[in-house]
Chain A
Amino acid sequence: MPLLCLKDATIKFGGLTAVNKVCFDIEKGDLFGLIGPNGAGKTTCFNLITGVYEPTSGDIDFLGTRICGMAPNKIAEIGICRTFQNIRLFGTLSALENVMVGAYLRHKTSLLGGFMLTPAVIKETAELRKKAMELLSVVNLTDVANSRACDLSYGKQRRLEIARAMATDPKLILLDEPAAGMNPYEKDELRSVVFKIRDDYEKTVLLIEHDMKFVMGLCEKIVVLDHGEEIAYGDPSEIRNNPKVIEAYLGEPV
């Protein structure tokens, strides 16, 4: 059974069909790429999968259960978490607290206990903090753990978003343009982080990226969208030589 399965997923905004009958399956352990020109509907696809929007028609299944119409927090709970293209960190909270919010999803104590700060809550808070610290070290942000998220550099904010999403213990992690605005050195670092997430933490990764070199070197399977339609599917070498893809990216070497 595939981990995630899109069946003719479609969404219309008024007259605009942002995503049109898109189908693809993601297997456990995949490093899956989603590419396409600007406005192709990639982010909208993420929004469909994470429950921000409900598809106009079609189905999305995760581990065999239909997740269309589920609240985003429920979807996070069953194991899909994401990062945002336009970074959405909790600005005035520290980097560590940002990751702790992610880790908080797996809390066990009651909110009433939180108001009374019971020993169990104190213990759990310390555990969540420890887990968050660990994830910060995975993305090399240990030294800025106590800085406010909004004070971090762009590249660090992107990595912090990844750590925060990882903290929710997802089965599938969606990365929306994680390398945007990063310099070549940071991109190399990011690549190793993504491999670490997949290989050491055994997560399945679905990522959107415009940097072709980055995607081709990282992903094993790629879906290409254009104007909301799926125009190609395959491994990097197939995508590179697909005439439709070349046409969509007109002129750009793929």
Chain B
Amino acid sequence: MSLSKILGTRALSVVLAIAFCFGLDAFVTGQLNEYVVRLVMLAGLYVTLSVSLNLINGITGQFSIGHAAFYMVGAYSAGIVSNAIYKTQPLAAPAYMIISMLIGAVFAAIAGLIVGMPSLRLKGDYLAIVTLGFGEIIRIIVLNQNQWGGSYGYAIAPKYQAGWLIWLLAIICIATCRNLLKSAHGLAFLAVREDEIAAQAMGVNVTKTKVVAFIVGAAFAGAAGALFGHMESFVNPDLFKMEVSFLVLTMVVLGGSGSITGSVLAGATLFILPELPRIVSFKMSLGLLLSVLLGIGVLVWMNRKFLEKYHEPDKVKRTLVVAGANIGLVVLAIVVGKLLNNVPVFGTTNYDANKIRYMILAVVLLVIMLLKPTGLLGHHEFSWDWVKRVLNRNKTGEASA
């Protein structure tokens, strides 16, 4: 591809990204209820978190599970600085946001550097334990600081809910990682993930690569934390517990470690998934619940066994048969559920969907991991070339059929 074409595409993407952010803001704010607006903003933050953790975990292969700590460092450091200057400096809110983002990013990057150090000596499970411990240590230190409100929490001024900025940050984070993977520099990160000893023997500076991954990943999480702090205008250490780290880690693994596209999709959907029962809030009878679980079990089992045994050369026919069988099973599960409801105990014991939302999340994770252990996208990325290839494949498929 020629350089001018590449730069043209670049300019177009930037314009589209900005249009998207402002479009989203114009559309979301005021049009939808406050809760949904909040969800859209939080989803943006989680996309940033999962994509930035993907840089450390998926791309560089350093198993870090304390991402909430960087998020927290960002929120508190930005809040503290912003509070200090807000009283004396009457700037417009967006200006504060930009300053806060930078401050959050810098402090989180320093934290990233500190956590990155052990990664030079530790691998796999051992590194995971250290990062996890680090996350908890930071949280507990903050918890014990009375000047920052301790466990009660810390108020951050000004309150500013900037959906456009949150999504802009997410897009910048995605673009940064994507750029890296498109350049030869990205290969150094991937090489470290694949085989550290071989990478170093080929002249890759493994130390520098790991530390940079931690610093950049942490900086984005910190910037997200800063925006989160201003969005909530009140933060407390409970918001940055291990659960947050695990949720983000789950997003990365589920999306397919190393795949940016996967992290984005998983970040946006997985965050919303446990919230859905809150929005639609329905009651589920025990009978229905059991049959759904049963249906899922059979579905997983069948897809694994069936796909192993079933060899049909015609792709279209194969897809139809598999899809048909799956739909049939779901219908069957619903019928069984309705029937079970007639049994007195099953029909009268009800569960609030809202209460079992984390259970639903767990089941979804189990199913995906059983059906596709490499995550939704494996190592693949979305690209227009890929779309073209798929379209062409279908065309040639039709022609030959």
A111 at the interface (CB under 8 A from B): yes
- For residue A176, give the distance in angstroms from its CB to the closest CB of chain B: 11
Contact among A88, A105, A124, A125 with B203 in the assembled complex (CB-CB below 8 Å): A105
Stretch from A35-43, A114-122, A185-193 contacting the other chain: A114-122
Instruction: Find chain B residues with CB under 8 A from A73 CB.
Output: 200-206
Instruction: Find chain A residues with CB under 8 A from B198 CB.
Output: 84, 88-90
B183→A117 contact, CB < 8 A: yes
Contact among A88, A101, A109 with B197 in the assembled complex (CB-CB below 8 Å): A88
A23 at the interface (CB under 8 A from B): no
A82 at the interface (CB under 8 A from B): yes
A81→B6 contact, CB < 8 A: no
Complex Cα distance, B383 from A55, in Å, reads 49
A91 at the interface (CB under 8 A from B): yes
Complex Cα distance, B198 from A50, in Å, reads 11
Question: How many chain-A residues does the 8 Å CB contact rule pick out?
Answer: 43
- Once A116-B179, A125-B183 are accepted as A-B contacts, the answer to whether A168 and B190 lie under 8 Å apart by CB is no
Instruction: Find chain B residues with CB under 8 A from A71 CB.
Output: 200
Complex Cα distance, B185 from A84, in Å, reads 23
A100 at the interface (CB under 8 A from B): yes
Contact among B184, B187, B188, B197 with A52 in the assembled complex (CB-CB below 8 Å): B197
Q: Interface SS of chain B: helix, strand, loop or mixed? A: helix
Smallest CB gap from A122: residue in B: B6
**Looking at chain B, what size class is its interface with the partner chain?**
20 to 34
Instruction: Find chain B residues with CB under 8 A from A26 CB.
Output: none
B197→A114 contact, CB < 8 A: no
Complex Cα distance, B212 from A122, in Å, reads 21
A114→B184 contact, CB < 8 A: yes
Instruction: Find chain B residues with CB under 8 A from A125 CB.
Output: 182-184
A97 at the interface (CB under 8 A from B): yes
Contact among A93, A115, A122, A128 with B190 in the assembled complex (CB-CB below 8 Å): A93
A195 at the interface (CB under 8 A from B): no
Residues of A within 8 A of B (CB): 50, 52, 71-73, 76-77, 81-82, 84, 88-93, 97, 100-105, 107, 109, 111, 113-117, 119, 121-125, 128-129, 164-165, 167-168
